[in-house]
Amino acid sequence: MVHIGPGTVDGRVVAPASKSDAQRALAAASLARGRSIITGYTPCADTDAAIGVVEALGAAVETRGGTIVVDGWRRDAAPRVDCGESGLCLRMFAAIAALHDREITLDGRGSLRSRPIGMLEDALRACGVACRSERGRLPLVVHGPLRGGTVAVDGSVTSQHVTGLLFALPLAGDDTRLVVERATSRPYLAMTLRTLEAFGIAIEADADLSMFSVPGRQQYRATSYEVEGDWSGASCLLVAGAIAGRVTIDNLDPQSPQADQAILDVLRRAGASLTIDGHAVTVGQGALAAFEWHAGDAPDLVPALVALACHCAGASRITGITRLRHKESDRVSALVEMFRGIGGEVATDGDALVVAGGPLRGGTAETRHDHRIAMAASVAALRTARGVTLDDSACVDKSYPHFFDDLRLLGARS
């Protein structure tokens, strides 16, 4: 348990590595014949799970401080791989595992074992992969080889299984026309295409990233790749600056395709003070006012934005929240319950969260072992009457193990 007391923040920290970017780089490096060097790595549970998966699927991996060395396609794939609690890891590497002409079982732990995977199975079957699961839950058994052709998949809940297909299909024996129906999280697909290009893969996409032309029989090129700083992890700390002082975060690319770079737009709308100097972003307090924002492409921002909205004058409205029910927790009910528990006025209205700004008393935050709920509660604690005690602080290890250290560096009391 960790207690975050009320107070101000004023300081500078470095954003951790983007686990989304790092996992994509690991996938590409594992498929390249030769040695790739991935720099800018900072450990977290999800990235470490991806390292374990690429090793199980045949790559050799060595970590050297902030560098990962990957020798792709070194040995045969293991019959079973563990995706930890990472949804991206499961959905991306399921398609890569299906490149093999043998049964491979993908499993996970914690909340990942209860998350539905029917959409993933449908996408794999559309590419000729035999698969079976436990009534739409893990473990998932896949048996390739994955084939190209004309393929249509549902992208309404997540784009992660689309990312998996985009990594695997360039190695299929046939060309592919991949159509994504009701595509969401398009910025993450843009990240995928950028990574693929860096490793020598050519894919043509239409403007709204709902149709892809994927030539088969391509070869990944081993290369050097630098992982970006993580806008998702930085979002709560930037909100801390907006509500409780001033924060500068280094290692953030304002031109990044990461979906959660959208935090800059929301902070501007809300009235926070915002300065960008190269890859350093500074956010300070301003006259914060209620905002409206649609979460369709960046659902991971919602916990941080609820913390922000609690300190904005008026009622803020965050729409497009349905997809949050299938994260590490049901984040819709988790956010309502947690913020109400510390004195906030948060309610659902159809596909929206409505947050009335006002003082928070503090208390105990039920995180449901969800890293983003824990980080949002910690930041909200800075503007409470008596602080917030988190029932689980270790859950931040999933994406940002040093979150509480950085929060303390900024001046938070715990």
- Residues serving a catalytic function are 300
Q: Which of 86, 125, 132 is nearest to 109 (CA)?
A: 86
Instruction: List, in order, residues 6 or more apart from 405 with CB less than 8 Å away.
Output: none
Beta strand 35-39 with 224-226: parallel, antiparallel or unpaired?
A: parallel
CA distances from 222 to 34, 162, 165, 191, 383 (A): 5, 23, 20, 18, 48
Distance between CA atoms of residues 397 and 405, nearest Å: 12
- Which element (helix H / strand E) includes 376? helix 371-380
According to DSSP, the residues that pair with 226 across neighbouring strands are: 39
Side-chain-side CA neighbours of residue 267 (13 Å): 29
Instruction: List, in order, residues 6 or more apart from 203 with CB less than 8 Å away.
Output: 166, 170, 193, 196, 212, 213, 214, 215
Q: CA-based Rg of the chain, rounded to a whole angstrom?
A: 21
Phi-psi region for residue 104, left (φ > 0), alpha (ψ -120 to 50) or beta?
A: beta
Token pair in block for residue 95: 């398609």
- Assess contact for 281 and 351: CB atoms under 8 A: no
Please give the order of strands across the beta sheet that includes 9-14: 9-14, 245-250, 280-284, 273-277
